[in-house]
Structures are given as structure tokens and as C-alpha cells.
Amino acid sequence: MDMPTRYVLDLCDTSGAHKPIASFESDSPFHPVAVGERFDDIGWNRLDGVGVIASPERPRRYTVHSIKHLVYPTAHGLTVKYCLNLSPFDGPSSPVWGDQ
């Protein structure tokens, strides 16, 4: 019997307490990212209960600081977890993206 695979993307802010700020789950893999890439919050619901603090008009910008991968079996199948550590970024947006 095939066991389902669950994909989890956890995001942590490396500034301050280095705390988890958002988590997403999927039945299919997330797109790959690399250290140094931009990763913008344009409306995540925050794990700490403060709700949504960014929007497409006022994004909160980050760069990927480091990445950790975890793969482990559970009673319900296999979990593949991507943990992205994000560093705040307040520089200008790339001209390719306009003002996003």
C-alpha cells in the first residue's frame, strides 16, 4: 500500500528570536529555492497570532539565508519538510519586478 507524502514549507525569520513566522502544506513539492534568493511576504497569515502584516502593495521582503531539509516517516506516510531561514531585506526591488 502506497503511503501519501506530505510536503511542508516552514519559514523562520533570522532576526531577533529566529522564530517560525509561517508554515505551508501541500500534496506536491514546493518550487526549489537557493540561498540568496528573494522571498517576499505578500500576505501570509503569521504563526504568532498577529495575522497578515504584508500585502502585494506593501510586501515584507526577505532573502533566503539558509535551508534545511528533513524527510521522515510518520504513521500516515512520509513527510518532506523544507525549512527556510529568511533574513529581512530592505533594499530596492529589482527593476525586473518593478516595484514589487
Q: What is the pLDDT of residues 37-90, one digit of tens each?
A: 988 898 999 898 889 999 988 888 999 999 999 999 998 899 999 999 999 998
pTM, to two decimals: 0.83
Residue 59 has a pLDDT of: 87
Least confident of 12-16, 55-59, 95-99: 95-99
Average pLDDT over residues 13-35: 89
User: Cα separations (Å) of 34 from 37, 49, 63, 72, 99?
Assistant: 6, 28, 10, 22, 22
Residues written for the chain: 100
Residue 95 has a pLDDT of: 67
Total domain count for the chain?
1
Residue 71 belongs to what domain range? 5-97
Question: Is beta strand 45-46 parallel, antiparallel or unpaired with respect to 62-74?
Answer: unpaired
CB count within 10 Å of CB 93 equals 14
